[in-house]
Amino acid sequence: MDTFRIDGKALSSTLRDGFKRHVEAADITPGLAVILVGDDPASHVYVRNKIKGCEAVGIRSSETKLPEDTSYEDIASVIMTLNNNSRVHGILLQLPLPQHLASVQESLVQMIAPEKDVDGLTTTNAGKLFLGIDDGLVPCTPQGSLHLIKSVQKDLSGLNAVVLGRSNLFGKPMAQLLLQENCTVTMAHSKTQNIEDVCRQADILVAAVGRPKMVKGDWIKPGAIVIDVGINRLDNGKLCGDVDFEAAQGIAGAITPVPGGVGPMTITCLLQNTIKASGAITL
Ligand code: NAP
């Protein structure tokens, strides 16, 4: 069997072209405000890419850079100011925050006004997703992963979906989205027994565990759609996913590469959420 490579860059580019046209035609300019605390190099790269993505589709963006030792109160004050700024439609607090703020990170995320929570992490947006109320903002990476799945198969009704990983950021919202698509959803995690057998039942297998090449070729049901969310850096400096991409060839029906699969779609869905939050168009 030939394994189809799902090209996240190409799908992103098509979607972004559409966003650009909508933003140009809208009578409002969507605005995204990013808050970046500290010096984590990876976070700086992510934020730069998000800002570039905004510029490319005509979203106005601003960046508030705060030093590593910024206090909880100071970050809270920035969030409140942005909540009250009518030119800002989306607020993104780049995570993770520096270590000294780890215990208050959740509390800061929850301060973001739900209608501006373009990461979809507030309890209001998580609750809307859980209840199937579709005017909420859905976390970007699961949303992007669903786009990728539907780019190869539109109707997912009745399919067995297995999500590896149960984080609030990815696994849980991904499972909800697949449930809404009428999949039969299994969530697997570090305590799951016979995880290989669980994976072999999956028509759709989504891996988000952060363990390089954990999913072997013989864990994959022939013909399955495999979405690899993991981003792991190997000793040789190269990136790889949670799935053994080479071993999946000839077994999976379709698979996303790392890099070039889910990654580009995450930023694309951030742009989509910002446009949705601005009310410029209904997406
Ligand atoms: P996380 O919060 O660390 O969660 C990891 C999940 O994997 C947990 O639920 C954990 O189970 C499970 N897990 C760990 N080891 C396992 C094992 N041996 N067998 C089965 N399950 C196991 O991570 P995350 O934020 O969801 O991210 C996961 C991966 O996706 C990371 O590589 C991250 O870099 C990547 N990611 C990529 C994007 C993107 O844009 N492409 C966005 C977000 C995340 P327990 O709950 O039992 O501990």
Half-sphere exposure of 16 (CA within 13 A, CB side): 22
Residue 119 annotated as catalytic:
yes
pLDDT, average across residues 248-261:
98
Burial 45-75, CB ≥16 within 10 A → b, else e: ebbeebbebbeebbbbbeebebeeebeeeeb
Q: What is the mean pLDDT of residues 81-102?
A: 98
Ramachandran quadrant class, 179 (left: phi over 0; alpha: psi -120 to 50; beta: rest): alpha
pLDDT at 282 over 80: no
Residues of the chain with CATH 3.40.50.10860: 28-113
Residue 82: C-alpha distances to residues 44, 173, 230, 281 (Å): 20, 26, 32, 22
Q: Give CA–CA dist 207/195, Å, rounded.
A: 12
| Nearest CA residue ID for atom 39, ligand 1 | 263
User: What's the CATH fold of domain 28-113?
Assistant: Rossmann fold (3.40.50)
Predicted pLDDT of residue 1:
86
194 pLDDT tier (thresholds 50, 70, 90): very high
Angle between helices 140-152 and 262-278 (to 10 degrees): 110
Q: Which residues pair with 31 in a beta bridge?
A: 60
pLDDT at residue 281 in the model: 67
* The architecture CATH gives domain 139-263: 3-Layer(aba) Sandwich (3.40)
For residue 100, the model assigns a pLDDT of: 98
> Mean of the pLDDT values across residues 75-98?
98
CATH 3.40.50.720, the chain: domain bounds = 139-263
pLDDT digits (tens, 9 = 90+) for 141-156: 999 999 999 999 999 9
Q: Is 94 a catalytic residue?
A: yes
205 strand-pairing partners: 162, 226
Please give the backbone phi and psi of residue 250, each rounded to the nearest 5 degrees, phi first: 85, -10
Q: How far apart are CA 112 and CA 32, in angstroms?
A: 13
Known catalytic residue: 50? yes
- Judged against a pLDDT cut of 80, whether residue 193 lies above it is answered with yes
Q: Is the pLDDT of residue 283 over 60?
A: no
- Distance between CA 228 and CA 80 in Å, rounded? 36
pLDDT value at residue 187: 98
Atom of ligand 1 nearest to the CA of 166: 9
Residue type at 34 in one-letter notation: V
Average pLDDT over residues 108-133: 98
Q: Is it the case that residue 131 has pLDDT exceeding 90? A: yes
Pocket lining for ligand 1, CB < 6 angstroms: 141, 164-167, 169-171, 188-192, 195, 208-211, 229-232, 262-263, 266
Mutate to test the pocket of ligand 1, among 11, 105, 147, 190 (most ligand atoms within 8 A of CB): 190
Q: For 31-55, what is the mean pLDDT?
A: 97
Ligand 1 midpoint to CA 211 (Å): 8
Q: In 3D, which of 271, 281, 283 has the Cα closest to residue 57?
A: 271
Say what the pLDDT of residue 258 is.
97
- What residues contact 150, with CB distance under 8 A and at least 6 apart? 156
